[in-house]
Homo-oligomer: A and B are copies of this chain.
Amino acid sequence: MVATQSPIDARKRPRQARSAATVEAIVEAAARVLEAGGLAAFNTNAVAEKAGVSVGSLYQYFPAKEALLAELIRRKRAELMTMIEREKAQARGRDLPSVLNGFIRAAVSHQLERPRLAGSLEYAEAMLPIDTETEALKRMIVAAVAEILSLHGIAKPETAARDLAALTRGMVDAAGLFGETDMSSLEPRVRRAVYGYLGIRK
């Protein structure tokens, strides 16, 4: 990996097994703190305490609070990227609706899980200076979706990919915040909007 000189990006990689566990504990604690109290409650002392670790250890692996946030964002994006790659791999020879259904199912399940966490990360990402790696992942995700759309003859595939992602995220976030937890109820509603946007019938 190329060392981009941004401090937000610079995370010391653990060299021993014990520290890998520490890093995981910190990351999970960070997610929980964000989940529970949003960005306002997200402070290094709270995260360290919830992780059962000292502040010093936190700073051993994340040189700044923002670096921890960036790691959470990076992981979320990476998860999504993995899901998309999986869908893309299965897309060969299928018709567009089938492919879209896969994407939608992946996106909804991914986003509906911890809506308050997701919302905080999205806000943080929109407001903070984003590190290069995360930015790249973002572009790759859009590009992957756009590629599929393009193959099926959709015009302006990049814009469409962004619009569909935004629309889906908007719907799922709102549903999650409203208290919905049932994917099977939400999925068809998202599908209708997506199909409508693309001008195809189910």
Which A residues have a C-beta under 8 Å from some C-beta of B? 38-40, 116, 119-120, 123, 126-127, 159, 162-163, 165-171, 173-175, 177-178, 189, 192-199
Copies held by the complex? 4
Taken together as a complex, chains A and B put the C-alpha atoms of A40 and B43 apart, in Å, by 13
Looking at the assembled complex, report how far the CB atom of A42 sits from the nearest CB atom of chain B, in whole angstroms.
Answer: 11
Task: Give the residues in chain B near A119, CB-CB below 8 Å.
Answer: 123, 126-127
Taken together as a complex, chains A and B put the C-alpha atoms of A192 and B170 apart, in Å, by 16
> 12 new A-B pairs (CB below 8 Å) besides A169-B174, A196-B196?
A39-B39, A39-B40, A40-B127, A159-B189, A163-B171, A167-B171, A170-B170, A170-B171, A170-B173, A192-B198, A193-B193, A193-B197
A-B interface, 3 closest residue pairs, ranked by CB to CB distance from nearest: A196-B196, A170-B170, A166-B174
Task: Give the residues in chain B near A169, CB-CB below 8 Å.
Answer: 170, 174
Residue ID in chain B nearest A196 by CB atoms: B196
Contact B166 A175 (CB under 8 A): yes
Taken together as a complex, chains A and B put the C-alpha atoms of A170 and B195 apart, in Å, by 17
From known contacts A38-B127, A119-B126, A193-B197, infer whether A174 and B165 are also in contact, taking CB-CB under 8 Å.
yes
